[in-house]
Structure 1
């Protein structure tokens, strides 16, 4: 007869046996268990990498956390209440600007994808436009009186504001390396001795040209007054439309301009004149060939003519070393044939065999064969001595 105590003891024994069995199986298969754990961890990392939010590598993009991106300045603006609208095409930019009449537009068209009409429409729809390193066509479309004026010299890593604009005065100094300078309107951060600056504002203050991506980039945002200038330029309104045009924004509806339309007006007069000059130069300096001479082929050239031609080439180019090597190589080859040493004989073996054949010291023959003539006269005399050596070997 069993009681509750007996059943509890039996259950406890069964549980301990199960635990011991599990531990025993785990010890026997611990290698497989470790491998399974590693696979599970690796699979988890892969899934996390696929599901984690990704950025991009587009220069000055608010999603680019690299040195050339602008995620830092966008996040700081967002922390201060500025709504940053990251738009990726022209239609989205126009929609964002039309829904916020007081929005600021940041335009960085590094590939020149937008045409003049689209640039003017964007400027008209925004309360303020900040253009970063614009091209000539972009400045011409904006028509704000700002012009390209070169680059900052290498010796100017930091530039002072030196102007009356409040945003520039608050920044104090900004990075000047690899930046462009612009003239017209109010210019700030000017290199020494120049009237053009990295920052140029139009007469009405609605259009601002910034000639440096380093001021907004992640890499140098914490240097000098870069952050102060970037935040003040872009944080003036509650909404900021951040627009980086791509090649997809190019207008491909019209026909491409022809070469005649792309060429300047003066090319129409200079082009024909250059053709005339080229023809005159050809007639003046061109080589005049005589009549064609027909010669039956194949042409048989005597060996002595080939040897003389090569000798003249060596003489003209003072190639004494090459001539010496050819003479030595030919002498050794002919000596090996005369002494029946075979094609695999080394130079030392040929010299020793020739010395034994002539009953001379090997050093004497070696000094003669391995000599390096220093003048053309000595080269000719040395060649004669080698020829004499060959004749003596063949006579014996």
Structure 2
């Protein structure tokens, strides 16, 4: 019990010291959560509504000005529905690491006359869509953003790339037996291209060329308009990890959470650990201090009374008063060590010449409020005073306890004369 009380008081005192900072922390977290919940801006990399440097907001706005309607497909199922609704619309598959499911890949291979543009900086999409994907991937082209622009080349078979002329952006290089566009150098495969044609569509390994940061470099803007603005409708599909799950598989709840949840959770955990360390540390070694040998009874009684008052324990206070008065009455009436309550009431009634039933009702009274408790205590104190006065006025043998003063003086004189 002592340990629990000490721990509780320590936690309360620690909370009182740190309540301002804790409140400030909670308000800050709620503000961040509210801002993130109400924020409609697209923050995904290569997002069509992302206005940051790595977004596609500029390209999307230019295409909208040219009356090109972009139909976004957040899942493979929605993408299949859009392909059925718009049979002649070009398809853009933008991969940031995830790939479409097998059914969607089979549909890409049977695309017919539909124009398909595959955007990816890595080999994942090429490996999933094209059978020779791992052999076609030549490596990264990291100097495209800061180095010189790559020429489309005379061998380039894609009219959009020829019309653009040049491109300048980092990305992935592909090595193919068929001629490609924008030839660069790879350490693994030598000369390779940023753009190649395959049975599944046109692969372009530099999606960063169409971002807000790089769209105005070299011929990036022209290439984007030629590749994306050929028709009035454009289907834009970004594969997600959930698309590759089978019907009987379960998705992780973490897949549905935004990206800022994990860093925020780690930050909250760190804050909790720091708070536990601060509240749990000992201020210093235990200091020994001699306690007082005697504690005045008045202080103990006052402390117990304040404790009862703070707890609003009217019934317990009344029971304590009743027991204390019965003990004192038994001592005044000299009824022995452990008399019964009925014996105390009868003796007190005979002493003060009152009805025992009236005294029993007084002692059995149950106060319900603090004012009733005060009146009850006063009634008990009055009864005790009456018993004490009656006990002082009579000796146990029945003789008067305070004889007449003249009698005392006469007796004292007789004793003196005898001496």
Q: Give the alignment's TM-score, normalised by structure 1.
A: 0.47
Structure showing greater radius of gyration is 2
Q: Could you tell me the TM-score, scaled by structure 2's length? A: 0.44
